[in-house]
Amino acid sequence: MSKITTELLLERAVPRSTRLRKIETLNLSKLQLKTGDLDPRLFSRLRHLQKLDLSDNLLDRFPNSLTLPDLRVLNCNNNKLEDVTALKQFPLLEELTYENNVYLTLNDDYKVMFLLQNLRLLNGKDITKLANHVRRVNSHKLTSKVTAHWKKFFSDQLPEKYTAEQVKSIKKKFLKSVQTNVVYGPSSLSEFTRWRVKMIAEEFLANSLGLELNSDTEPEEKTDENEEESTESPREAAEDVAPVTVTPSKRKRNHSKSSPGNKRSKTQANTEEEAEVNPRKSSHVEDDPAPDKPRTSNQPAKEATPEQGAEGTQKNGEQFPKGQSNRRSSQMTGEQKSQEQDNSVVTLTPVKNSKRKEDVSAEPLHFLQCHSKGNSREDFKTQLWSCVFEPVLDSGARKDPIVSSSRTVATCGGESVCLIDCETGTVLKKYKVATEEFFSVAWTTLTMVISDSRKKAHNILAAAGRRGIVKLIHVAADFCYGEIKAHKKPIATVCFSPTQETHLFTASYDKRIALWDIGIPDCDYNFKASQLLVLETASIPLRIALVPTCPEQYLLAGCEDGCFAWNIKLDKGQKSRPFEAIFQFPGEEGLTTSHRVDGLAFLNDDVVVSKSSKPGCIYLWSWSKSFDAKGKGCQRTMSAVILAELEWSTTDMSYLTLSTCPAKEYVFCGDEKGSVWMYNLSTYTTGWGSPKGKRSERRISPTQILTWPELRVNGEQPPEILVNNVVADPAFTYLVVLTSVNITAIWKKS
């Protein structure tokens, strides 16, 4: 029996009424209503209803035929809505609020602005100007792109006389192609763009070929707000980003050999842990420096009081204070701001070519200062450590990184994690924990049950650092839904398994690498995390990498005292395991196992790229030729079969890590002068992969070196710049450079 009756409607009318057709204001909040409780036959009698409050219920969608022809104000706060397209049945709607619906996103804001032509207020914000932009400028641009796409690729495919089958076939191909290839606006609005592109394409086909319109609409997802910590919208985040002026004057080079030993950190460690976590000490100091650890703050981070709960327990999502309830609308305004801002490309060419012929051209797009402590524009001490591009959720061709890859990148350093649109330079979201210093971030895609047993893929971001706690963030919902107390000492780096979406590896200063199953949260964000495995290391693990050909069996780690491998297969009974192999590398006095490995990544299924404390050298070596899988016993010593050496900076500065772009066969590594060394190895990999593949006798020079341009902030140059990390998206369209001076640089391949 439905919860809603005629008597209930009359009773909840404001003021109370004796007839349904006389009700103008109706409050149906806090009744635990579900979608099935909204009976269209009953609601069709509310012909003069103008204000409806459905807040604090359990609605996941609206029925398509509620028939409220005079509805002007609608409140849907605190429900479980997944789609807003059914709201088009209320064409006179002027005011709409739907905050705290965690599956709705910024894309849904844009959908309702397009669908509801009379809408003035959305979540308490005046959206008149932005809505006009969406309905007119956005639609005009997309219509032009859709029409051009048809003319360029499909207009010649239909014969003069065509059959219904031919029309059906070309319609299917065109709709798929146009949604994949027509791009406009920031990536955070890609879902809205595809929705509009499909709509425009169907209208175009109907007008051109007389095809029927497909009015099916697809639900999408939302942004909730909340954290005991804080999450910022694009507008709020944008206010934290200091403008950095690039002066196209010639960069002055310092040819004198400076002592790198005291460059890396100005922090004076007062405790054993502080000393351990300070990576920028001289590489000669034997004091357990850390891989992913800021040498930034002048004072030791104040440890927060640990919350109650055993290791591995979860904390159900905290909600933002009511005072922050309008965050979604300001986020929307920030998006419009990002569209209107002039994000012009810097007109200088900070590119230094090596002796080899240049085969890449890249230009700097943006220089951002978005991780400042206390949002201070004077902060040039916060170290930036880790960045990773968001996976693409779309199906079909978009799963191929060569066809399309995300332009949204997560970066971390100091007390914050930021999500940045690389094309526009917009800080889309910002997540802060005042007592934390974040060292590492990693993405996974979880298939979550959203409602009515339906499943949907969502990207989840894991962030960890000094406190040894992993934060789990549902980015689309602006919601940190839980945490895992993984280690008692700082976490240097984290990574997810490419084959098991819930399996997370955490490498810590406690000289352990743990494997966690983070579980899949339910629709109320309840989840259960469990520890599956502990790998014992002889020294602090700095970098970890799963072997691509067998990611469920072997893990490599670069540590303070060498490079190690573990068998991580879960069908073995042993939960705590020593390393299975340690690799020897060339040293000054022959082969050695004792050296710091602060850079580690796979270039392809077999070639490992590692950087050690040996100045000026990056090794490429073969996993399959180096590791004897048939051997028995633990802690075996194996010689790394070196395929080549890459020429790199002669600095002995540690913790300047490297990365790879396997799809394009590139290696990237920053140096102590702010430069990025890029190596295109596509001409070498085929030879290395052959059975008779030989080592390259000569060191391979960089294909190109991107030099740091001269920057001025408030008229002054920032201090000496170290490149801590540099990462390209899978298609190598963007290059994100993280520095020691709180500046994120974004380059674009041209």
SS3 sequence, 478-534?
CEEEEEEECCCCCEEEEEECCCCCCEEEEEECCCEEEEEECCCCCCCCCCCCEEEEE
Over residues 360-366, the mean pLDDT reads 84
Q: How confident is residue 339, by pLDDT bands cut at 50, 70 and 90?
A: very low
pLDDT at 360: 63
Q: Helix 139-153 and helix 190-209: axis angle, to 10°?
A: 60
Answer positive or negative: Cα dihedral of 368, 373, 374, 376. Answer: negative
User: For 186-235, how does the pLDDT look when each residue is reduced to its tens digit (9 = 90+)?
Assistant: 767 888 999 999 999 999 888 876 655 444 443 433 333 333 455 554 44
Six-digit token string for 267: 């922090």
Q: How confident is residue 631, by pLDDT bands cut at 50, 70 and 90?
A: low
pLDDT at 404: 46
Six-digit token string for 556: 């490599």
Q: Which amino acid is at 298?
A: N
Choose among 364, 289, 379, 164: nearest CA to 613: 289
pLDDT at 334: 34
Burial class (CB in 10 A: 0-12, 13-18, 19+), 266: middle
Six-digit token string for 453: 């047993």
Q: Whole-angstrom distance between the N-terminal and C-terminal Cα of the chain?
A: 63
The torsion defined by the Cα of 592, 596, 600 and 605, in degrees rounded to 10, comes to: 20
- 524 CA to centre of own chain: 23
User: For 705-721, how does the pLDDT look when each residue is reduced to its tens digit (9 = 90+)?
Assistant: 999 888 776 677 777 89
> What does DSSP say about strands 73-75 and 636-639: parallel, antiparallel, or unpaired?
unpaired
**Are 147 and 299 a contacting pair, CB within 8 Å?**
no
Burial class (CB in 10 A: 0-12, 13-18, 19+), 24: middle
Higher pLDDT, 278 or 79: 79
Of 118-122, 225-229, 509-513, 535-539, the range with the lowest mean pLDDT is: 225-229
User: For 449-501, how does the pLDDT look when each residue is reduced to its tens digit (9 = 90+)?
Assistant: 876 677 889 999 999 999 999 999 999 888 899 999 999 999 999 999 999 99
Choose among 436, 401, 432, 431: nearest CA to 419: 431
Kindly report the pTM of this predicted structure: 0.62
Examine the pLDDT at 32 and tell me if it is beyond 80: yes
Of 1-5, 80-84, 578-582, the range with the lowest mean pLDDT is: 1-5
Examine the pLDDT at 399 and tell me if it is beyond 70: no
If DSSP codes are grouped into helix, strand and coil, which group holds residue 293? Answer: coil
pLDDT at 415: 93
Element (H, E) at 9: helix 6-12
Neighbours of 11 (CB within 10 A): 11
Going along the chain from its start, the domains and CATH numbers come out as 6-209 (3.80.10.10), 362-391+405-749 (2.130.10.10)
Examine the pLDDT at 321 and tell me if it is beyond 80: no
Q: How confident is residue 532, by pLDDT bands cut at 50, 70 and 90?
A: very high
pLDDT at 727: 96
